[in-house]
Structure 1
Amino acid sequence: MNTALWIIAGLLAAVFLIAGSNKLFIPREKLAKAPGGGWVLDFGPRFVKALGALEILGAVGLILPALLGIAPILVPVAATGLTTIMVGAAIVTCRRREFGHTLLDLAYAVLVAFVAFGRFGPESFTG
């Protein structure tokens, strides 16, 4: 299970690093033109930038604390935060009736919740 958690956390870290960087560095108007990006127009530019920063911090938090052995409890905390973000994303896309994106958001939420469960529980770094 430890190997599966590392693989999933690594893949999710890459996904959230890319998604967060896009939100942080690409203008909101350009993001809105991307497929499934219309949701950014429902929020202010500061919110989109803050969300991008949180996703980047979450991506770093999935890997770096455990890799360096410094405060590894931050791994499941970061995973819990990212789960919350993805549940929020699923709610937004569902309200926009973008059900394909809703399913993708929920899939990410389940994967990141699995990492949180695994790292808080059976494969904890602190136990």
Structure 2
Amino acid sequence: MNIVLWVIAGLLAAAFLGAGVMKLSQPKEKLAASGMTWTEDFSAAAVKGIGAVELLGAIGLILPAALDVAPILVPLAATGLALAMIGAMVVHVRRKELATIAPSVVLFLLSAIVAWGRFGPYSF
């Protein structure tokens, strides 16, 4: 199960790293034009903040355990990302974008699995 949790954490880190870098590096208008219409409801600073949270969460999923420095940060990062995905699901439901909610649900479930495993029976 430890290997499974590492694989899931690695996939989550890659997904959130990519999403975070994209939100931090592109203007809000370009993100909205590329299909992220939810950005219309948020300020540019809020979108950058969401990107920063995703980037830091991605780092927190891997580095603390890999470097064996404060490995408790891994389940905390996974919990934070799960909460961010709950927020994303709420935004999509509120905007009636049910067709685009699936990635948020999957990322929430995977984050919750890592948080459960690393807080519980498979902690470091």
**Structure 2 segments unaligned to the other structure (5+ residues):** none
What is the deviation of 1:108? Answer: 0.7
Equivalent residue, structure 1, for 2:5? 5
C-alpha distance in structure 2 between counterparts of 1:107 and 1:100, whole Å: 13
What is the deviation of 1:15? Answer: 0.3
C-alpha deviations, 1:9-59, integer Å up to 9, x for none? 001100000000011110000000112x00001000000001101100000
Contact residue 23 and residue 52 of structure 1 kept, 8 A: yes
What is the deviation of 1:100? Answer: 2.2
What is the deviation of 1:121? Answer: 0.3
| Correspondence list, 1:25-64, <5 A | 25-35=25-35, 37-64=36-63
Equivalent residue, structure 2, for 1:106? 105
Range moving further from structure 2, 47-56 or 92-101: 92-101
Matched residue count: 124
Structure 1 length as normaliser, TM-score? Answer: 0.95
C-alpha distance in structure 1 between counterparts of 2:24 and 2:106, whole Å: 23
C-alpha distance in structure 2 between counterparts of 1:58 and 1:118, whole Å: 17
Equivalent residue, structure 2, for 1:14? 14
Contact residue 90 and residue 106 of structure 1 kept, 8 A: yes
RMSD after superposition: 0.7
Give the 3-state SS of the residue equivalent to 1:71 in structure 2. Answer: coil
Contact residue 65 and residue 72 of structure 1 kept, 8 A: yes
Give the 3-state SS of the residue equivalent to 2:113 in structure 1. Answer: helix
Equivalent residue, structure 1, for 2:69? 70
Using the aligned pairs only, state the percent identity. 56
